[in-house]
Amino acid sequence: DTGVSQDPRHKITKRGQNVTFRCDPISEHNRLYWYRQTLGQGPEFLTYFQNEAQLEKSRLLSDRFSAERPKGSFSTLEIQRTEQGDSAMYLCASSFPAVPAYEQYFGPGTRLTVT
């Protein structure tokens, strides 16, 4: 399968713990996006990388959230001191560089539950 992969698929954590998610984009896709999707809502943009450079961050990305893409390939999203409001599906998407934003390919998501 050469699609976008995310790990883990599910994560249950206690409030206050730190969690880290990984996204592996489609190879040769140099753009990588993170979104958050809560129940009954559409995905909300969090941040976007072109290669290893983080080019845009949403206001939704509080100081407790940090994303990296150290070698321009896979990316990690870390949430520190998790809160119950962080419970959501975290989606990763990737695309080729010279295409409009709509041509994003989404991974299956990581479902986070904070208890």
Partner 1 sequence: QKEVEQDPGPLSVPEGAIVSLNCTYSNSAFQYFMWYRQYSRKGPELLMYTYSSGNKEDGRFTAQVDKSSKYISLFIRDSQPSDSATYLCAMSRNNDMRFGAGTRLTVKP
Q: How far apart are CA 82 and CA 29, in angstroms?
A: 30
Q: CB of residue 41 vs partner 1: minimum separation in angstroms?
A: 5
Q: Is 90 in the site for partner 1 (CB under 8 A)?
A: no
Out of 45, 66, 73, 74, point to the residue binding partner 1 (CB under 8 A). Answer: 45
Q: Is 70 in the site for partner 1 (CB under 8 A)?
A: no
Listed ranges 13-21, 62-70, 76-84, 105-113: which one lies at the site for partner 1 (CB under 8 A): 105-113
Out of 91, 94, 112, 114, point to the residue binding partner 1 (CB under 8 A). Answer: 91
Out of 19, 25, 29, 48, point to the residue binding partner 1 (CB under 8 A). Answer: 48
Q: Is 61 in the site for partner 1 (CB under 8 A)?
A: no
Listed ranges 13-21, 60-68, 80-88, 95-103: which one lies at the site for partner 1 (CB under 8 A): 95-103
The CA distances from residue 13 to 5, 18, 44, in Å, are 21, 8, 22
